[in-house]
Amino acid sequence: MQHKLHSPSLSCSENIGLLPNRNSPYWNILEYCRHIGLEKLPDGRRHWMARVRCRSGKYKQTRLGLVGLFDQGGLTYEDALTAANQWFRLPEIQAEASEPYAVGGTTRLNYVKSKEGFTIGDALQDFVEWKRVSAAKTYFATSLSLINHHIVPRLGSVLVEEFTGRTFTDFCVDILESPPKRGRKTPGPRVRLEDLSHEALRKRKKTLNTVIGILRLALQMAWENGDIKSERTWRCIRRVPHADTPRQYFLTRSQAKQLLSACRSDLSKLVLAALYTGCRVSELAMLRVRDVGGHVFGVYVAPMKSYRGRYVFLPDEGMSFMLDQIDGKDEEDLVFRMSSGKAWTGCHKHLFKDAVRRAGLPEAFVFHGLRHTYASQLVQAGTPLAVVARQLGHSNTDTVSRTYGHLCCETIEKELSRRFAPLRRVRNDTRLKKLRASLQTDEVPIWSWPVSNRSKASGTLVSLLRAREDELRS
């Protein structure tokens, strides 16, 4: 599996010749926490480098030797790689360094058959191979990770004919009481079901229902393929009752502008694009010039989480902003890049967190919250849920209704005020005015979009909206 590098491959001498001189080294990933690098200094000196990530979170690096190019002496890439591995194995380095792990996610089921007869692991094997060819890449990777972490260790070796309702219940309780998996961090202690907080239980039920759905589909597929004689095995598997918590926090327009002013220039463009489109950061990072204004007044978002691509329509200001970003670029160029020229990957996270802190926003607010902000503002403005769902890329309105339905408050309030027959006269109650003033919908006009310094949006409607917004602010 190919992986993204910090810089062009250092194993190619042509790449090394093209890299500009600078004070900081260029790095390639060998394994996570283990890197080989090239130091190409402004004075012309070139050194091979190696570095490790320490348990403290900092890096430790060393020079391995001079770079040998075109038979000029020094170390070749292969020599440097050998020297780097020797340095990684030094006792004093191993004492400080974090454990390395392979680049890229697991692509295979962690199941080895150990019993005669058809097991749940066998059913999962067939299911995984089918999903490998039928599912979107990101969905497949997520599903496989859940299968390897939750299902295989608990049920992989269980014969399907021995799988009962009691087995299933024990399986559910075990998942609910187990600590959540957070990357490669050491999991926390196991917590009994009755001791879980409401929010912790809600989150674990959500994960459990996803796992249950995968298990049920795998066993149903095995029954359809004739590997299981009775359909009782998969019909007895049901999701647990669970209610999604509506989104309670999202940015107002003034908060969005505070955040934009706290971002550095390249991140500001990415944030503004998320506020205009409601796209995920992964979708924006892969957006290409050809996807902007190709067939609709908006952008085309290529399939990422599913096989369905979608068109996201934009207001005038958003379209003007997108056209600014593609000006002078080739059709295959990425629309958004870091100021260094690199593609956006996970490196946006710490930059966004710093911007959130500088803007005085809650520490827990993450980039994905911009997507919720986009949807919340549309719902509050009375946009039909079907339109919001289509913009976000959902197949129906169920998720939008569960997550943002409570924000239809302004539309509902106006309908009630217009149609409710009064029972008594209400005096000028200042409490009502204060309450309305505290709600997010009235802080700034609900149709207001974040203003780009480079926006060229024009037209009578845009001028009227801006004039009205300035009037309200004053």
Which whole number is the average pLDDT over 370-387?
84
6-20, 31-45, 189-203: lowest mean pLDDT where?
Answer: 6-20
Torsion angle defined by CA atoms of residues 74, 78, 84 and 90, in that order, rounded to the nearest 10 degrees: -100
Q: What is the pLDDT of residues 252-275, one digit of tens each?
A: 888 999 999 999 999 999 999 999
C-alpha 146/C-alpha 23 separation (Å) is 43
Q: What is the pLDDT of residue 137?
A: 80
pLDDT at 400 over 90: no
> Cα–Cα distances in Å, from 133 out to 120, 250, 342?
21, 37, 31
**393 in helix, strand or coil?**
coil
Identify residue 99 by its one-letter amino acid code.
E
Identity of the residue numbered 420: F
Least confident of 164-168, 357-361, 390-394: 390-394
How would residue 467 be classed by pLDDT, with cut points 50, 70 and 90?
low
Q: Does position 154 have pLDDT exceeding 50, yes or no?
A: yes
- 140-149, 323-332, 435-444, range with the lowest pLDDT: 435-444
Which own/partner pairs from 186-193 qualify as long-range (CB within 8 Å, at least 24 positions apart)? Answer: none
Is pLDDT above 50 for 455?
no
Dig out the tokens for 360 from the structure.
């005085």
Residue 191: its H or E element: none
pLDDT band of residue 434 (cuts 50, 70, 90) is confident
CA distance readout (Å), 463 to 319, 323, 403, 430: 16, 20, 34, 34
| The predicted structure's pLDDT at residue 127 | 95
CA distance 410 to 439: 10
Cα separation, 115 vs 112, in Å, equals 9
What are 218-227's pLDDT values in tens digits? 999 999 999 9
DSSP run (H or E) holding 298:
strand 298-301
What is 120-235's CATH topology? Answer: DNA polymerase; domain 1 (1.10.150)
The phi, psi pair for 253, rounded to 5°, reads -65, -35
Q: Report which of 422, 418, 384 is spatially closest to residue 400, judged by C-alpha positions.
A: 384
> Residue 199: what pLDDT?
81
pLDDT band at 457; cut points 50, 70, 90: very low
Structure tokens at 444: 């700034």
Interatomic CA distance for residues 336 and 338, integer angstroms: 7
pLDDT at 72: 61
What is the rounded CA–CA span in Å between residue 158 and residue 215? 13
Half-sphere exposure of 467 (CA within 13 A, CB side): 7
Question: Could you give the angle at the alpha carbon of 347 between the alpha carbons of 343 and 353, nearest 5°?
Answer: 135
Q: Which residue has the tokens 């600590």?
A: 179
The lowest-confidence range among 304-308, 312-316, 322-326 is: 304-308
For every residue of 162-181, DSSP letters joined together read G--HHHHHHHHHHHHHSPPP
Residue 392 CA to residue 310 CA, distance in Å, equals: 9
> What's residue 2's pLDDT?
36
Rg of the chain on CA atoms, in Å: 27
Average pLDDT, the chain: 82
pLDDT in tens, 99-115: 887 776 678 899 988 88
Q: What is the pLDDT of residue 104?
A: 66
CATH class in words for 253-473: mainly alpha
> Does residue 302 or residue 284 have the better pLDDT?
284
> What mean pLDDT do residues 178-199 have?
83
Region 341-360 average pLDDT: 87
Tokens of 52: 């490790």
CATH architecture for the domain at 13-96: 2-Layer Sandwich (3.30)
On the question of pLDDT at 444 being above 70, the answer is no
Backbone angles phi, psi at 441, to 5 degrees: -65, -25
Mean per-residue pLDDT for 38-65? Answer: 92
The predicted pLDDT at position 212 comes to 95
Query: How far is 261 from 417, CA to CA, in rounded Å?
Result: 38
Please report, for the chain, the start and end positions of each structural domain, with discontinuous segments joined by +.
13-96, 120-235, 253-473
Q: To the nearest whole percent, how much of the chain has pLDDT over 70?
A: 83
